[in-house]
Structure 1
Amino acid sequence: MIKNITFTMLALVLFASCVSPKIYKELEDKYANLKQENRKLSDENDVLLNERNAAKNELDQLEMEYDVAVAKRDKLQADYNATKSNFDNLKASYDALEKNSSAAIAENSKKNRELLAQLEAKEQALASENARLQKLKKELEDRSNRVAELEHVIASKDAAMTDLKNAISRALTDFEGKGLTVEQRDGKVYVSMENKLLFNSGSWAVGSEGRKAVQQLGSVLGDNPDIAVLIEGHTDNVPYQGNTQLSGNWDLSTKRATAIVNILRENNNINPENLTAAGRGEFAPVATNDTAEGKAKNRRIEVILTPKLDELSKLLNEN
């Protein structure tokens, strides 16, 4: 699907003078599908995090039940010990009274039988509680292991994204202060490049300095084949008045995103199936459009890097 979009957008760049509304509508539909797939990945990540939180809540509940079971077992053990001590005292008393009174012997015998019955009942209750305690302990261990596995996989993904972010920052250090930023949030890495680094006004042709930045970014992406790469084009809210064949800012932002994809595709280490080009037009600003500075920040390319969550999905589906 990504290959089809890329070739279609390339055709748009080469034959911009003959673009038909039907073709443009098809591109918009494909972009909507790609946007839906990206949203699905984001939702899946949220579901996995919720699953991890639910597992932790279950673990906390099991730990509480385990503590209650331990307290109950300890109380039964204390009751059993007290009853046995009482029984031992009565037995000693019975032995002492055996020589003196048949009536006392009969009374002690009755109490002994009652105490023996109590001891048997408490032993059964204690055995039952110990069995329940072992079952809870096993469930607690299983749940704890599951939570640990989930947290390990999530931590590994976060660490990998942190390493990726640091690698990109090092690769693009020459472009600091030139409208380029690298951020990590919500488990993703965002590389934002203002248009002043990449394009002339109204153009989707990447300049030499911008091409160098994109190529250096591509060198890092080529070493990370398990990362989904979404390239979004953004504009300010000033209506586009350049090439009459373009429908407006949305079309311009799409062409600019596709231009970045084409540069990344020059790197043979990058899997084209991992690349998605999308135009957002003026509808996702990061600053106000009421000032020149704000408009400059809104005119940008955002490269959004998302880890693939296959390992987490497999782990969740195992249980």
Structure 2
Amino acid sequence: MKLYKSIPIMLFTLALAAGCVSNKKYAELQDTYSKLRERNQELSNKYQDSQRELSGSTSRVKSLEEQIASEKANVTALQDALNKCLNSSSQGNVNISKLVDEINSSNKYIKQLVNAKNKSDSLNMVLTNNLTRSLSKEELGDVDVQVLKGVVYISLADNMLYKSGSYEVSDKAGETLNKIAKIIKDYDTYDVLIEGNTDNVPIAQTNIRNNWDLSALRASSVVQVLQTKYAVDPKRLTAGGRGEFNPIADNTTAGGKAKNRRTQIIITPKLDQFMDLIGKAPEQSQK
């Protein structure tokens, strides 16, 4: 963190007095800047990995929902077949017994799937309610909490989080981040992605190349505050930036730009229990 704070001063001094510094000093500044670029690339790579994991989680949830729908349709088909057998001759007695067993097995499996999904949804709602209740009215003006497709999104306005034109976390954000950190630590089986977003106005700082850099550096700053100041396990944290390419409002207005300048804390439940249940799906008898 201290290194990042010194970079703008160093590069600004370099820009003003490039002809006055020694070759050694110039090389040191170049080396520091190269390290910053390498750090940014590491953050970008880590963010891409996290995006792939989040995409995989979304696909698994969709697969789960399709599995539930398929099982329900199968129960309906089995029930129809059972009704036909009941209206036919006594030769269907053996088939009736098999159909009853399959219906019971499928109903039990559906109940397991639904219970597991409901448990995850309930945990997300409790998490959201606990966080919302802990925030003051003033904080709620800068913090938006939503649950979308089983994932909790906490969106923080940049004017609350950062110093103007900087990626350094402000003192004003400390109390709010402390409350969020407590919730994150309470739900210690959830993964946490910190995602930086900007508007489409180009950044004008010598040590930040573009909005990709700015968004990634801001996300990294929040991650490091959660880790170092509020003791969140860094193994659960991922920092990434999306630059100006994930807008939620029109960038042609001042209000739209303000909404797009945000940092999201995305809390994702693990889906291991769902995958275990899908792997234990009852086999259907051949007809």
Normalising to structure 1: TM-score of the pair?
A: 0.75
Rounded to whole Å, the distance in 1 between the matches of 2:80 and 2:33 is 66
Match status 1:210 vs 2:173: yes
- Counterpart in the other structure of 1:19: 33
Question: Which residue, out of 158, 161, 165, partners 1:198?
Answer: 161
Amino acid aligned to 1:62? L
Check the 8 A contact 1:171/1:220 in 2, yes or no.
no
Question: Which residue, out of 69, 75, 81, partners 1:53?
Answer: 69
Match status 1:314 vs 2:276: yes
**Secondary structure, aligned partner of 1:138:** helix
- Per-residue CA shift, 1:240-259, capped at 9, x if unaligned? 002x1111111111111111
Rounded to whole Å, the distance in 1 between the matches of 2:275 and 2:92 is 37
| Offset of residue 300 of structure 1 | 0.4
Which of structure 1's runs of 4+ aligned residues deviate more than 3 A?
Answer: 14-17, 21-27, 173-177
Rounded to whole Å, the distance in 2 between the matches of 1:186 and 1:254 is 25
Distance 1:240 1:137, change over 3 A: same
Rounded to whole Å, the distance in 2 between the matches of 1:52 and 1:44 is 12
Match status 1:292 vs 2:283: no
Amino acid aligned to 1:141? N
Supply the RMSD in Å over aligned alpha carbons: 1.9
Rounded to whole Å, the distance in 1 between the matches of 2:76 and 2:202 is 56
| Offset of residue 14 of structure 1 | 5.7
Match status 1:181 vs 2:144: yes
Match status 1:223 vs 2:186: yes
How many residue pairs match? The answer is 255
Amino acid aligned to 2:4? V
Amino acid aligned to 1:13? Y
Check the 8 A contact 2:46/2:238 in 1, yes or no.
no
Match status 1:278 vs 2:240: yes
| Offset of residue 71 of structure 1 | 2.6
| Structure 1 unaligned regions, length at least 5 | 1-9, 77-125
**Secondary structure, aligned partner of 1:196:** helix
**Secondary structure, aligned partner of 1:281:** coil
Q: Which has the larger helix fraction?
A: 1
Percent identity of paired positions between Structure 1 and Structure 2: 31
- Per-residue CA shift, 1:3-25, capped at 9, x if unaligned? xxxxxxx5973674623255544
- Counterpart in the other structure of 1:119: none
- Counterpart in the other structure of 1:63: 79
- Per-residue CA shift, 1:45-84, capped at 9, x if unaligned? 2222222222222222222222222232xxx3xxxxxxxx
| Offset of residue 231 of structure 1 | 0.9
| Offset of residue 31 of structure 1 | 2.4
* Higher Rg of the two aligned structures: 1
Question: Which residue, out of 264, 270, 280, partners 1:302?
Answer: 264
**Secondary structure, aligned partner of 1:267:** coil
Superposed, which structure 2 residues align to 1:40-189 within 5 Å? 40-72=56-88, 76=89, 126=90, 128-189=91-152
- Per-residue CA shift, 1:232-272, capped at 9, x if unaligned? 10000000002x1111111111111111111211333x332
Distance 1:258 1:134, change over 3 A: same
| Offset of residue 129 of structure 1 | 0.8
Rounded to whole Å, the distance in 2 between the matches of 1:153 and 1:143 is 15
Distance 1:25 1:185, change over 3 A: closer
Amino acid aligned to 1:200? K
| Structure 2 unaligned regions, length at least 5 | 12-31, 282-287
The more displaced of 198-207 and 211-220 is 198-207
Normalising to structure 2: TM-score of the pair?
A: 0.83
Amino acid aligned to 2:154? V
Amino acid aligned to 2:85? A
Amino acid aligned to 1:70? L
Check the 8 A contact 2:44/2:241 in 1, yes or no.
no
**Secondary structure, aligned partner of 1:170:** helix
Amino acid aligned to 2:180? L
| Offset of residue 143 of structure 1 | 0.5
